[in-house]
Amino acid sequence: LAAGLIGLGCAVLGRTDAQPSRRAPLALAALVAAAGILDIASAVTPELANRVRLIEGVAPNAVPGLASALIVPTGLALIVLARGLRRQRRRAWQLTVALVLVAAVLHILKGLDYEEATVSIALALALVARRHDFEGSGDPATRMELGLRAVVYTVSIFAYGTAALWINRIEADRPYTIGFALRETTTALVGLNPRGSAHLAGPFGEWFPLSVFLLGVTGGLWLLAGWLAPWRYLCDRREHEQLLVRTLVDKHGTDTLSPFVLRSDKSYFFSPDGRAFLAYKVVACVAVVSGDPIGDPDAIESLLPAFQGFAHERDWRVAVLGAGERCLPLYGRNGLRALYHGDEGVIDVAAFSLEGRPVRKVRQSVHRLERAGYSAAFVLAGDVDGALAAELAEVAAEWRGPQPRRGFTMEFDSLFDVGGSDALFVIGRDASGAVAGFFHLAVSRAGQALSLSSMPRLRTTPNGFNEWLVAETVGWARQNGFERVSLNFSPFAAVLAPNGELSASQRVQRKVLHQLKGTFQLDNLLAFNRKFFPQWQKRYVVFERFADLPRVGIAGLAAEGYLPLVGQRQ
């Protein structure tokens, strides 16, 4: 004991400038989990008789049994805490140090198990020595909620105990008082009589104390898991931040995906000087960044590591959807990896033409729609009046049907939330003047580009309607000084290309993707884009570790609306 206290003092008073380590938390987490298993195993195995007699000679008779009962939930709690230690949570470290010291005392009291106690003390010393590795703060918003949960759960246990005891005493025709019920419930809750109560007769006296104790253990583990949970994400958009975002997008948003950061479901993280930002949303504990950071290049250089620190403090992983090739070196310098995700088809407005054999199908569609009396109108979002808005909303609702609205990186979340000159409607009307369909496009002034957000239409529109509207959009873009028109994103276009040279693994990937084409319209999007002979801009998913890929994939699909993980409340 003296050696342990000396070692603990040295650990506490040791160097305070130790550098954090990635491996130490993993190793300590594994050791803590092993210690938890050891605690449980020690509790369920018989004690040595000679040691028990020594304890009984100096401690009340109830102490060994109480210590044996308490060591089990202590071991379970250590197993739960191991995950928090692996994630370098400060709260997990604080509770673990306290519990391993408690476990050391319990091992001594339950049967003079000094071997297990020594392991616990040594583990406490290691944890204190590596305390600088555990700096991740917990969510302050959970304190009030968990306190309320603890009160409600404790009241519920006592309500259960008093009600069960009242029913039992009535059936047994025995006297009942609230004081008696509270004492029995409290005694059972702290584990003083898990094998039965001498004050309760029959089978009830055997199972009631155990049931209360198990309820207490379950509630404690539930509260512990909530205390160690990652920060909850709240989409907080302040008016001055939105104004700054619009200013930065107008000045630096040269990427075709830049305007989509204006969606209402994205939060913003700014550089300290406010000259750069990125847009993100947290899904399944992954901070999903929408496209590349926007702003001054010098400010972007420091923005990404600052955001990584911000996310890791909250126990979120970081991923980027729709990353462009231009920023891949930046991601690499910050320890991130990139995985090819697909290609964005971008029409060069100056080079596009309806002349020539390769585009004859598009040309035929244009002529067919023109002969049928179809006409196109171009309206900026800020110029849409109430009557037109109602028509557009009706067409969009009919086209979408019961399906949820999808998109995150490359689509607006509403037709009319983004107004002014930030969005453009290209409206196709039939011969009677009714709206048959339309394109909703994001406007990138800095990049001189239009980016297609959605393309709803009536089911009765003739074949070639979308091709005709693309040609009309390119014509308007040419007249108004735009250089690029971005079409649909084609996931895994290089893998799905009919004549592409593929490796064996890519051929397997292609077969899997063809099985998913009905859900994600992979080949349909690629075939549509190829009609216009666009330039292909590769897009990537950027992530931190290969082990994160499954979680990043789920979070990305949920953010885009393909998995029901993101509710209306969030």
Report how far apart, in Å, the C-alpha atoms of 242 and of each of 114, 139, 236, 544 are.
Answer: 62, 25, 11, 28
Cβ atoms 85, 228 nearer than 8 A? no
Question: Tokens in use for 245?
Answer: 């975002």
pLDDT for 407: 82
Taking the C-alpha atoms of residue 33 and residue 506, their distance in angstroms, rounded to an integer, is 40
Rounded to 5°, the CA angle 82-85-87 comes to 115
Q: Report the SS3 class of residue 267.
A: strand
Taking the C-alpha atoms of residue 413 and residue 26, their distance in angstroms, rounded to an integer, is 40
CA-wise closest residue to 44 among 76, 9, 89: 76
pLDDT for 499: 60
Cβ atoms 53, 64 nearer than 8 A? no
Domain 346-537 sits in CATH at 3.40.630.30
Strands 267-270, 535-543: pairing kind:
unpaired
pLDDT for 116: 85
List the pLDDT tens digit at each of the 570 positions of the chain.
555 555 555 555 555 545 556 688 889 999 999 999 998 888 878 776 667 667 766 666 667 777 887 888 888 889 988 988 888 888 888 889 999 999 998 888 887 787 888 888 999 999 998 888 887 777 776 777 788 888 998 999 999 989 988 888 887 778 888 888 888 888 888 777 766 676 777 778 778 888 888 888 888 888 888 877 777 777 777 788 889 999 999 999 999 999 999 988 899 999 999 999 999 999 988 999 999 999 999 999 999 999 998 998 888 899 999 999 999 999 999 999 999 888 899 999 999 999 988 899 999 999 999 999 999 999 999 899 989 999 999 999 999 888 877 888 898 988 888 877 889 999 999 999 999 999 999 999 888 999 999 999 999 999 999 999 999 999 999 999 999 999 988 776 655 655 656 666 666 666 666 665 554 555 677 788 889 999 999 999 999 999 889 999 899 888 888 776 544 434
Sequence letter at residue 169: R
The verdict on pTM exceeding 0.75 is yes
Helices (H), 87-201: 90-111, 114-129, 142-171, 178-189
pLDDT for 394: 94
Dihedral-angle region of residue 407 (phi above 0 means left; psi in -120 to 50 means alpha; beta otherwise): left
pLDDT for 417: 80
CA dihedral 322, 325, 326, 332 (to 10 degrees): 90
CA dihedral 495, 498, 504, 506 (to 10 degrees): 10
pLDDT for 373: 93
Taking the C-alpha atoms of residue 35 and residue 27, their distance in angstroms, rounded to an integer, is 12
In degrees and rounded to multiples of 5, residue 345 shows phi and psi of -85, 120
pLDDT for 570: 40
Domain ranges of the chain: 2-133, 151-214, 346-537
CA dihedral 379, 385, 390, 392 (to 10 degrees): 0
Instruction: Dihedral sign for Cα 122, 123, 125, 126, please.
Output: positive
CA-wise closest residue to 537 among 441, 445, 410: 410
Indicate the burial class of 328 (C-beta count within 10 angstroms; 0-12, 13-18, 19 or more): middle
